[in-house]
Structure 1
Amino acid sequence: MGDNNTWVGVVPTQRHTMSYRVIIVEVLITVFLCINLLQIATFLKKELFRTTMRYILFANTLLSDSLFLILTNIVLILVYFRIVIDMWLCLIIYIGWSLYTFVTQVTLTAMTLERYVAICMPLRHGELCTTRNSLHCILIIHSISSIPLSVFLSIFFASATQNAYTQRILCTVEILILHSWQQHLRSAINQLYFLIICSIIVFCYVNIMKVAKVASGENQTSTKKGLQTVALHGFQLMLCLISLWSPFIEAAFPQNNFILLMNVKFFNYIVFILTPRCLSPLIYGLRDEKFFLAVKSIVCFSLEKKKSSFSFV
């Protein structure tokens, strides 16, 4: 999000502009978190959702996105108000940040594979996509997502001095980058994930498209809807994966041009971090008829309950 000299020499007008931007981000994050919490509550309330793989994976995405938004918001506030914290606390924030950066992307890939199995292998869908397998899948997702984090933590613990953990610093995403070659390693890992995930998305989309061409009647409608879902997942994943390249995009701009750098950071944060996190509720929560009706019933019930409580006052 920034470095220790980010705010040095900032004129009041620039600081005022950044204040508005922080307010915009806070409003957006609050709205997204409220939507996510409403849908998580809906998931927990219905047994059908708690026992169906795609809804379990969807809930995992909502939870991952919510935790990620909270952590990014903490870092944003710390940097904006120049609040220094202990290195060990910053490491904890980084662990959550790094893990949930990848959890969402890997979960979306798993959801795409679930749609592939449902449409291209319908006879095996019930066998493969059980509740127990869903929980195993979530464990695998977190394991795969923790690989980049484990690599960078190992390098940091091997390189950092003992005094480093007690230092008070301005917490940024780049705290574990102690050597220039770590940037290249991070780039290589991100590109590997990008290649694997893109390959899976393309594979699923092509095969679902083949089934859509030969399907008829009700099956064709269901297949086309699945095709649209995979395409939307592909778009969402593209935004998420581009966010992995944000540090390199920002590094390409002059670091001494504060206004330009802040504009780039703000654009990257809104488009590549916040936007993909708000698409999950729209893609699965509102497009899925059963889930949408469940959310609608909860909202209507809450409004009626509030209305009746006011009538007794």
Structure 2
Amino acid sequence: MSDISQTNISVGLHDLERGLLSSLTTLPCCVFFCINVIMLFTLRSKSVFRETCRYILLYNLVLADTLQMAVSQILYMMFFCRITLPYPVCGILVMFANLTNEISPLTLVLMSLERYVAVCYPLRHATIITIRNTEVSIITIWIFCSLNILIRVLLLLEFPFEELQRLQLKRYVCNTFLMFLTPVSHEYDKAYTCFLFVSAFVGVTCSYVGVMLAARSASTDKASAGKARNTLLLHLVQLGFSLSSTVNNALLLLTSKTVSNRVSLLIQNALYVLLFILPRCLSALIYGLRDQTIRPILVYNLCCQLKLLAVTAGAKIYP
């Protein structure tokens, strides 16, 4: 898991229990991952999705969530299989997980601003929200988040790695805390995380308030303003889920001190599914089912995949 803060929490569990718990956690992750992949395929299957700004932003959001889900599950399986990694490999995985995790809230801000412009400035929407401007904004987000990762790497260079006997982790958990080798790295991470989510919260909230005020105007389309208000409220909920994942470490530390290792492991897995995996699938499910244009195509693709899996399973059972 990308942000697990415990070390030997699974000591004392039998292999059968570990396998069963890992299966119960991995199964929903695989289902959600498949849904996200189908959603990505759907958003690239029609020209209307590739040429509409809000669908381009949605594609970037689902892509970041899917990559984050994949990296988190890889780290989670390494933890359960007790696989130790060299520091460089762990660092690359953790940094990539942080990169994709930061893309989501910033993309939500762009999607909120797009809805704000559509409601408050409908006549200028086509000139402000263009495909070129949208692509430039997405590239800017990725560059900004990549620069943050570069700064984290530069801060790591202050640590005297030459004094280590070997660059191998001494425990099974590969997480963000292992990258805080200096006090400056830890303080920078807290400051950047606070800045990121406060900025995203202010951006989404201001867009929501602007749409609420515009909805009271007589010249505003009430139906369009109502849909935009509900969408922005959904963005706030998604941002709340992203923010809740940052308190996962504090919850794990608290439970590890008050309950047994076995109970703490169950809580850890529940938090992993609820705070890391489930929110990454909400974008594909909610937007896919709410949008009248995406819904029939997404349902069709999902049904085709289910039929394909059923046919494949039947062929294996009855060769």
TM-score scaled by structure 1? 0.87
Taking the aligned partners of 1:57 and 1:93, their CA distance within structure 2 comes to 25
1:275 aligns with: 278
1:175 aligns with: 178
> Residue 122 of structure 1: SS of its match in structure 2?
coil
The answer on whether the counterparts of 2:204 and 2:236 sit within 8 Å (CA) in structure 1 is: yes
2:98 aligns with: 98
Alpha-carbon spacing, 1:18–1:225, altered in 2? closer, same or farther (3 Å): farther
The answer on whether the counterparts of 2:9 and 2:265 sit within 8 Å (CA) in structure 1 is: no
1:286 aligns with 2:289: yes
Structure 2 residue identity aligned to 1:237: L
Alpha-carbon spacing, 1:302–1:214, altered in 2? closer, same or farther (3 Å): same
Structure 1 residue identity aligned to 2:68: F
Number of residue pairs aligned between Structure 1 and Structure 2: 306
Per mean C-alpha deviation after superposition, the further-off stretch among 205-214 and 186-195 is 186-195
1:282 Cα shift? 2.4
1:235 aligns with: 237
Structure 2 residue identity aligned to 1:115: R
The answer on whether the counterparts of 1:116 and 1:204 sit within 8 Å (CA) in structure 2 is: yes
1:63 Cα shift? 1.1
Q: How does 1:1-313 map to 2 (within 5 A)?
A: 1-8=4-11, 10-12=12-14, 16-162=16-162, 167-169=167-169, 170=172, 171-180=174-183, 182-215=185-218, 219-255=221-257, 257-299=260-302
1:280 Cα shift? 0.2
The answer on whether the counterparts of 2:5 and 2:249 sit within 8 Å (CA) in structure 1 is: no
Taking the aligned partners of 1:210 and 1:111, their CA distance within structure 2 comes to 18
> Residue 102 of structure 1: SS of its match in structure 2?
helix
Structure 2 residue identity aligned to 1:249: L
Taking the aligned partners of 1:288 and 1:154, their CA distance within structure 2 comes to 43
The answer on whether the counterparts of 2:103 and 2:142 sit within 8 Å (CA) in structure 1 is: yes
Structure 1 residue identity aligned to 2:65: D
The answer on whether the counterparts of 2:35 and 2:302 sit within 8 Å (CA) in structure 1 is: no
Taking the aligned partners of 1:302 and 1:251, their CA distance within structure 2 comes to 41
CA RMSD of aligned residues (A): 2.9
Alpha-carbon spacing, 1:304–1:195, altered in 2? closer, same or farther (3 Å): closer
1:165 Cα shift? 10
Identity across matched positions, percent: 26
Taking the aligned partners of 1:48 and 1:125, their CA distance within structure 2 comes to 17
After superposition, the C-alpha distances for 1:185-239 in whole angstroms (9 at most, x for unaligned) are: 322221222211111111011110111222579x211210111011011001101
Alpha-carbon spacing, 1:19–1:57, altered in 2? closer, same or farther (3 Å): same
1:160 Cα shift? 4.2
The answer on whether the counterparts of 1:237 and 1:276 sit within 8 Å (CA) in structure 2 is: no
1:143 Cα shift? 2.4
1:3 Cα shift? 4.8
TM-score scaled by structure 2? 0.85
After superposition, the C-alpha distances for 1:10-40 in whole angstroms (9 at most, x for unaligned) are: 143xx65543332122111111111111111
Alpha-carbon spacing, 1:304–1:20, altered in 2? closer, same or farther (3 Å): closer
Structure 2 residue identity aligned to 1:103: I
1:275 Cα shift? 2.2
Gaps in structure 2 of 5+ consecutive residues: 315-319
> Residue 276 of structure 2: SS of its match in structure 1?
helix
The answer on whether the counterparts of 2:42 and 2:301 sit within 8 Å (CA) in structure 1 is: yes
The answer on whether the counterparts of 1:212 and 1:220 sit within 8 Å (CA) in structure 2 is: yes
Alpha-carbon spacing, 1:296–1:260, altered in 2? closer, same or farther (3 Å): closer
Alpha-carbon spacing, 1:294–1:177, altered in 2? closer, same or farther (3 Å): same
1:180 Cα shift? 4.8
After superposition, the C-alpha distances for 1:108-144 in whole angstroms (9 at most, x for unaligned) are: 1211111111111112211122111121111111123
1:184 Cα shift? 3.9
Structure 1 residue identity aligned to 2:190: S
The answer on whether the counterparts of 1:239 and 1:271 sit within 8 Å (CA) in structure 2 is: no
Gaps in structure 1 of 5+ consecutive residues: none
> Residue 45 of structure 1: SS of its match in structure 2?
coil
1:60 Cα shift? 0.8
Taking the aligned partners of 2:35 and 2:149, their CA distance within structure 1 comes to 29
